[in-house]
Amino acid sequence: MKHRLIILALVSALVVAAAPSRADEGMWLLSQLPELAPTMKAMGLQLDPNDIWDPKTNTGFASATPWLGGCSSSFVSPEGLIITNHHCAFGALQMNSNPEHDYITNGFLARSRGEELEAKGQRVTVFRGYEDVTATVQSAIKAVAEPEARTKAIEQREKQLVAECEKTGLRCRVAEMFGGAKYYLYRQLELRDVRLVYAPPRAIGEYGGEVDNWVWPRHTGDYSFLRAYVGKDGKPADYSPDNVPFKPDRFLKIATTPLAEGDFTFILGYPGRTMRYRTASSIAEDTNFYYPQRIKLLKELIALLENESKRGKDIEIKLASQLKGYYNSFKNNEGMLEGLTRTNLAGLKRAEEAKLTEWINADASRKTKYGETLLSLDKITTSRGEMRDRDLVLGWMAMPRSYGLLGAALTIDRWGEQKAKPDMERDLGYQPRDEGSLRQRLVNMQRNLDPETDRAMLGYLLKRAASLPAGQRIGAVDEALATTGKTGDEGVAALLDRVFATKLDDQKVRLEMFDKDHKALLAGGDPMILFADALRRDTKAMEEAGKRYEGETVLLMPRYLEALSAWKGKPLYPDANSTLRMTYATVKGYSPRDAVVYKPFTSLAGVVQKNTGAEPFACPPRLLDAAKLGVEKFGRWVDPKLHDVPACFLTTNDITGGNSGSAILSAKGELVGLAFDGNYEAIDSDFQFDAALARTIAVDIRYVLWCMDFVDKAHDLMREMGVEPVNK
């Protein structure tokens, strides 16, 4: 452990040693702001680091940028008004839509507070600071030798820290950084009453659809508004008509200075996951197996859902959110694989690791400290890949946030098993603190549930499971199929007939089962519950293998990253993990290939030029009518250099999934746009950052305001944000 602490100290020193040499790369922790400030100020920042986040007072712009649990957002008024992307509020639109009120297609605008719609299940978590708890977490594994026990010991310590933190009424989590070299305790205020305020028609919010997804030039009005509410006592509360708007400590002001090429920008948001420090063997596995197989699976599931959507408007609405997510993942994964292959990243990493190994072996002390690290990581990766076919299918079948009945059954079965245990002995995600969200999930799924589609999807996965190679079989599936007395597709059909005799399609029944103890639950004999319980044996085996892997890498990855940082002679930033990060850069175009140069701004004229009248380029008639008024009518929404309303723009900010909805802030800290995408040419930036190609695509706040002003006449909301309409 003494050796371990030395590594920790060295990595910590390297992380904060200096500002990065390349300003646009890196998703930085707020604690690194003082070291980054000189570079940021040289680029144009006009704020003190404490304006962004002051750790002494836990205030700053960071407290104005809450997390939506998968997306980022910002408060833009003292009345709890939140701006984020259209696709981040898509679930709220879907939950409130039906064939008579199709808010997905037509958009929604609440003309008064009383008209705002409940965004069921949506949570807004407001940043309240974080602290380094590395020493506390690391002390839990001092005398632990077995990898699996090591992971469990870390989880136990994390649960203890979270339980103590949440006595204050906040929502807390422990986040691992640098593969286990650092741990931070994050504090958030969770707001449970969230309402949909305004979203433009899909033809604005998703203009270009999958054709333009991840593509520049872009003309998408990807914005929407929510509002957070609390009880009359100012504390978080469940939805109630008597609740009042949340009063944020800080909210963002709308920029009044026109954004221009070369301007400084910074982003505060919650990037989901990056893999910048993966080893060559791991990247080879992703390139040769993971992405090809995942792309194939997504393509087939998309075809299945598209076919089911044709059965009627109600089914189309029910499946819309799931289908949208699959399409986005499919295109992302295709681009990821293309980038990994085109750049031969696995080969580049092998060459880098060869040089790193040469540097390590050139010094006896370095060889003693790091000598076996890469070799050990390679062995672990190879071992983990031995069950990759099973893990892919089982992972999808047992997805905890599944829209389907099997996902509900797995949640209910595991909750029944776990709730008999003391709090600190329960699995993460199944503690008393999680009961409300689990119960809400079982309620919310009713709006998206279509048993016929659910049956088709589970049938597809069962067929995949039935074709798994020997040694990678899913025991519960094999046993269940064998009891049908049939084989092939007939066996799958017979099993589906059995499990879909379940009563779980009834919301009341699901909640009643959720409240039963495990023994009584199984005694009830529901076929989907019994299948889920049998499947839990397989998922437990997969989870235990994951814990062994984590327990091994938690000692190796910090050592590898320390060696990498020392060899390169520069500080590292941690991979993204849905914690608040800051990235800074400039407004800048790029050249994707020979003789092609992309400018950093698109315009309203470009929106109209793309219009074909057919999806995905069918502008709403009211937008076309507004555009015909001419730029001379649009006042301050017109950019002086473009001589038009800017639609979208590019920056060199380093982002990934989870940054959707992030505020892009000017040098003064004013809101100039919302990040909503990356560009296809650099879609593999989750693995490697190319400064020449990697760009953030954002909707310009002037286009948002123009749409609010001239298209939807959302003038009251504009005034709430401190903006006077032009179109009075």
Identify whether 546 is part of a domain: no
Q: Maximum distance among all alpha carbons in the chain? A: 76
Judge if 353 and 400 occupy the same domain. Answer: no
**Does the annotation count 643 as an active-site position?**
no
Contacts of 91 (CB under 8 A, 6+ apart): 119, 121, 122, 321
Say whether both 409 and 302 belong to one domain: no
User: Could you identify the residue written with the tokens 């632990």?
Assistant: 144
Separation between Cα atoms, residue 386 and residue 233, nearest integer Å: 55
Decide: 598 and 589 in contact? Cβ < 8 Å.
Answer: yes
Domain stop point among 509, 526, 541 = 541
Q: Is position 410 within any domain?
A: yes
Q: Is 518 a catalytic residue?
A: no
- Asked if residue 390 and residue 534 are part of one domain, the reply reads yes
Q: Are residues 320 and 406 in the same domain?
A: no
Is there a domain that residue 725 lies in?
A: no
Dihedral over Cα of 458, 464, 466, 471: its sign: negative
Instruction: Match 């939140």 to its residue by tokens.
Output: 82
What is the reported pLDDT for 402?
A: 62
SS3 264: strand
Residues 24, 102, 212, 222: which is the catalytic one? 222
Q: What pLDDT does 601 receive?
A: 98
Among residues 658, 598, 679, the alpha carbon closest in space to that of 338 is found at: 679
Q: How many domains does the chain have?
A: 2
Instruction: Answer yes or no: do 363 and 439 share one domain.
Output: no
In a domain, 6, yes or no: no
Q: pLDDT means per 10 residues in the chain (728 residues)?
A: 36 38 77 93 95 92 96 98 97 94 97 96 96 96 93 97 97 96 97 98 97 97 98 97 97 96 97 96 97 97 97 95 94 96 97 97 96 96 94 89 85 97 96 95 92 96 96 97 96 98 97 97 98 96 96 96 92 93 97 96 98 97 97 97 97 97 98 97 95 96 98 98 96
Structure tokens at 161: 């820290």
Spatial contact of 253 and 722, defined as CB atoms under 8 Å apart: yes
Whether 379 maps to a domain, the answer reads: no
Task: Determine the Cα–Cα distance for residues 275 and 282; give it in Å rounded to an integer.
Answer: 10
How is residue 174 written in tokens? 């422990």
| Residue 571, pLDDT score | 76
Q: Which of 172, 178, 165 is nearest to 138 (CA)?
A: 178
3-state secondary structure of 70: coil
- 286 and 419, same domain (yes or no): no
Domain closes at, from 338, 371, 404 = 371
Question: Which residues is 366 bridged to in the sheet?
Answer: none
- pLDDT for the residue 401: 56
The model scores a pTM over 0.85: yes
Token pair of 625 as six digits: 């009518």
CB neighbour burial string for 213-233, b if at least 16 within 10 angstroms, e if fewer: bbbbbbbbbbbbbbbbbbeee
Shared-domain flag, residues 448 and 310: no
Q: Say if residue 282 is exposed, middle or buried (CB neighbours under 10 Å; 0-12, 13-18, 19+).
A: buried
Tell me whether residue 345 is in a domain.
yes
348 plus 406 within the same structural domain:
no
* 330 and 358 inside one domain: yes
**For residue 529, is it within any domain?**
yes
**Which residue in 63, 565, 660, 685 is the catalytic one?**
660
Q: Last residue of a domain, which of 371, 405, 435?
A: 371
Range of the domain at 473: 385-541
510 with 472, same domain: the answer is yes
Q: How far apart are CA 361 and CA 419, in angstroms?
A: 52
Of 24, 86, 87, 454, catalytic: 87
Task: Indicate the helix (H) or strand (E) that contains 604.
Answer: helix 604-610
Active site residue 660: yes
| Three-state secondary structure of 373-435 | HHHHHHHHHHHHHHHHHHHHHHHHHCCCCCCCHHHHHHHHHHHHHHCCCCHHHCCCCCCHHHH
Q: Which amino acid is at 609?
A: Q
User: Counting Cβ atoms within 10 Å, is residue 613 exposed (0-12), middle (13-18) or buried (19+)?
Assistant: exposed
| Non-local CB neighbours of 211 within 8 Å, separated by 6+ positions | 616, 617
One domain for residues 389 and 535:
yes
Beta strand pairing call for 117-118 and 671-678: unpaired
Does residue 69 fall inside a structural domain? no
Name residue 663's beta-bridge partners: 268, 674
Contacts of 405 (CB under 8 A, 6+ apart): 449, 451, 454, 500, 502, 504, 505, 528
For residues 348 and 485, state if they share a domain. Answer: no
